[in-house]
């Protein structure tokens, strides 16, 4: 470490100690309660947010305690405070007061995957508590040791995730990626200031929108919450204020997609593309609408344009793969699903669709039961084992490898899904009979 780096390290430690003097009263004022001696703090104004954060923290702590007593003791020993804050990363450890800061709204507040919220949050607590352990052992967090420290902390959260279903840890937290920590290290103070400012501005715009861009950004938040009617209303207001705002048409088109109003979605994407032909998202969304309308050639054409504009667009590859699948062009379908997964390993639909093709393709030469089980298992994990179609695919994949015991098990689980339509139930019963007779399944559409 050169003299300037050493000076910077000393400054960082001193700054942490000084800021802690001013921070401690705020932590005490915002304390919501204690979990085995760990104070849970949230300065948020809204009581509903405080309650949700406290409840999720209790669930995460209980999960660690039930699966891993050793790591739970570490969390309780090295984290004196868990505080909800605006961050660039999911968590951050501050050694002086032994604070684990987490960004609840940004990282652990998905309405679609509540189980993943708890598991990921638990992993972050273990990660940050490991920082505390290493700090106590005298291992410095400097430029030379930083990557090694982060790898060890990541490994601890990875090992905890191995308690869950097979393949889950490979997705959450997944392999260690040093780039994020490297960027954060290199730009930490400035980046934190930018992040805090951005979050403050976002909160202000959400509570008191004034411009077309404010309404448009709030519409994206509405969609994250699943409130598509409110998202459409916010986009309407954004467009009224600025009829040339392409992003508002695209966001409204996305909301219409979720509401399955495909004609309106296409009309809005048309307008977005006319105003901004270089927006890959609008082509991707219009391609999805055409896919649902079974106009596969138009869907492929839009996905082609989206991929030309953004070659790493995982959704465009995935949807083009599905269009090719419907046209029985299996080589191109497999290639697109593989590219979608390569660009986004957490694209659950791509895993599921690829697994279904590999398990049930009418052309036997394309079947690969082993790969089908691998991708179907990942799809189920990504969907938190709550997506009936993924469970159905897993059953077919096990059938293809000749593991009919598991094929029967998962098909029965699919049959037990509430509110299945009569056709789905009839098809499932037919598949179950095949698996019980030790026969594989394939479907000709």
Predicted pLDDT at 398? 97
Answer whether residue 426 shows pLDDT above 90.
no
pLDDT score at 389: 94
Instruction: Judge contact between 219 and 248, C-beta under 8 A.
Output: yes
Decide which of 442 and 282 is more confident: 282
Q: How many residues does the chain have?
A: 445
Output the average pLDDT for the chain. Answer: 88
Determine the pLDDT at residue 21: 57
Under the banding of pLDDT at 50, 70 and 90, the label for residue 8 is very low
Please list the residues that pair with 93 across neighbouring strands.
100
Q: What is the pLDDT at residue 188? A: 55
* Predicted local confidence at residue 200, as pLDDT: 59
pLDDT at 20 over 70: no
Q: What is the predicted pLDDT for the residue at 190?
A: 52
Residue 257: the pLDDT is 96
pLDDT higher than 60, residue 139: yes
pLDDT score for 145: 87
**Percentage of the chain exceeding pLDDT 90:** 68
Average pLDDT over residues 438-443: 78
Q: Which pLDDT belongs to residue 361? A: 95
Q: What is the mean pLDDT of residues 83-97?
A: 87
Domains and CATH numbers, the chain: 3-200 (1.10.390), 368-445 (1.25.40.10)
User: Rounded to two decimals, what is the model's pTM?
Assistant: 0.77
pLDDT of 1 higher than 50: no
Task: Over range 341-367, report the average pLDDT.
Answer: 95
Please report, for residues 221, 296, 305, the alpha-carbon distance to residue 339 in angstroms, rounded to integers and kept in the order given. 29, 19, 16
Nearest partner of 300 among 276, 279, 278, 326, judged by Cα: 326
Per-residue model confidence (pLDDT) at position 5:
46
Does the pLDDT of residue 83 top 80, yes or no? yes
The pLDDT assigned to 371 comes to 97
Please report which confidence band the pLDDT of residue 264 belongs to, taking 50, 70 and 90 as the band edges: very high
Regarding predicted confidence, which is higher, 185 or 389? Answer: 389
Band (pLDDT 50/70/90 cuts) for residue 19 is low
Question: Distance (Å, rounded) from C-alpha 215 to C-alpha 236?
Answer: 9
Residue 444 has pLDDT above 80, yes or no: no
Tens digits of residue pLDDT in 282-319:
999 999 999 999 999 999 999 999 999 999 999 999 99
CA-nearest of 334, 331, 335, 273 to 298 is 273
Q: Averaged over 312-334, what is the pLDDT?
A: 97
Q: Please, which pLDDT band fits residue 192 given cuts at 50, 70 and 90?
A: low
Q: What is the pLDDT of residues 225-255, one digit of tens each?
A: 899 999 999 999 999 999 999 999 999 999 9
Q: Which two tokens stand for residue 47?
A: 């009581």
SS (H, E, C) 332-400: HHHHHHHHHHHHCCCCHHHHHHHHHHHHHCCCHHHCCHHHHHHHHHHHHHHCCCCCHHHHHHHHHHHHH
pLDDT higher at 45 or 5: 45
* pLDDT of residue 204 exceeding 80: no
As a whole number, mean pLDDT of residues 257-280 equals 96
Pick the more confident residue, 21 or 359. Answer: 359
Element (H, E) at 31: strand 31-35
Please determine, for residue 56, whether its predicted confidence score (pLDDT) is greater than 80: yes
pLDDT band (50, 70, 90) for residue 162: very high
Label residue 104 by pLDDT band (50, 70, 90).
very high
Do the beta carbons of residue 413 and residue 391 sit within 8 Å? yes
Burial class of residue 102 (count of CB atoms within 10 Å of its CB; 0-12, 13-18, 19+): buried
**Cα separation of 282 and 302, whole Å?**
9
């Amino acid at each position: 470490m050169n003299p300037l780096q050493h000076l910077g390290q000393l400054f960082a430690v001193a700054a942490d100690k000084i800021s802690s003097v001013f921070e401690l009263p705020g932590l005490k004022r915002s304390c919501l309660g204690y979990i085995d001696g760990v104070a849970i703090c949230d300065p948020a104004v809204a009581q509903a947010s405080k309650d949700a954060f406290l409840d999720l923290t209790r669930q995460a702590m209980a999960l660690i305690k039930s699966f891993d007593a050793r790591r739970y003791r570490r969390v309780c020993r090295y984290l004196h405070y868990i505080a909800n804050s605006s961050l660039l990363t999911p968590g951050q450890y501050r050694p002086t007061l032994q604070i684990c800061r987490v960004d609840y709204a940004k990282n652990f507040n998905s309405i679609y995957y509540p189980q993943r919220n708890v598991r990921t949050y638990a992993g972050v607590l273990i990660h940050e508590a490991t920082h505390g352990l290493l700090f106590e052992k005298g291992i410095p967090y400097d430029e030379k040791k930083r990557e090694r420290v982060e790898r060890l902390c990541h490994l601890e959260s990875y090992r905890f995730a191995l308690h869950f279903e097979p393949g889950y840890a490979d997705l959450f937290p997944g392999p260690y990626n040093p780039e994020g920590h490297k960027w954060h290290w290199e730009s930490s103070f400035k980046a934190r200031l930018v992040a805090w400012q951005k979050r403050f501005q976002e909160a202000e715009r959400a509570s008191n929108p004034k411009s077309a861009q404010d309404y448009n950004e709030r519409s994206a938040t509405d969609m994250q919450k699943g409130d598509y009617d409110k998202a459409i209303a916010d986009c309407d207001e954004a467009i009224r204020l600025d009829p040339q705002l392409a992003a508002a048409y695209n966001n409204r088109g996305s909301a219409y997609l979720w509401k399955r109003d495909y004609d309106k979605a296409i009309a809005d994407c048309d307008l977005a593309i006319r105003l901004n032909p270089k927006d890959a998202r609008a082509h991707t969304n219009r391609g999805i609408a055409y896919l649902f309308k079974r106009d596969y050639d138009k869907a492929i054409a839009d996905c082609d344009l989206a991929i030309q504009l953004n070659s790493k667009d995982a959704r465009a590859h995935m949807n083009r793969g599905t269009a090719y699948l419907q046209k029985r062009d299996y080589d191109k379908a497999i290639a697109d699903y593989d590219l979608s997964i390569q660009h986004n390993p957490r694209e659950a639909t791509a895993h599921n669709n690829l697994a279904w093709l590999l398990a049930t393709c009418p052309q036997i030469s394309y079947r690969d039961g082993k790969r089908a089980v691998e991708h179907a298992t990942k799809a189920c994990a990504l969907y938190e084992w709550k997506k009936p179609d993924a469970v159905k695919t897993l059953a077919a994949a096990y059938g293809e490898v000749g593991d009919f015991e598991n094929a029967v098990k998962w098909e029965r689980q699919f049959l037990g899904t509430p509110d299945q339509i009569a056709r789905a139930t009839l098809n499932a019963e037919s598949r179950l009979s095949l698996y019980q007779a030790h026969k594989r399944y394939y479907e000709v559409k």
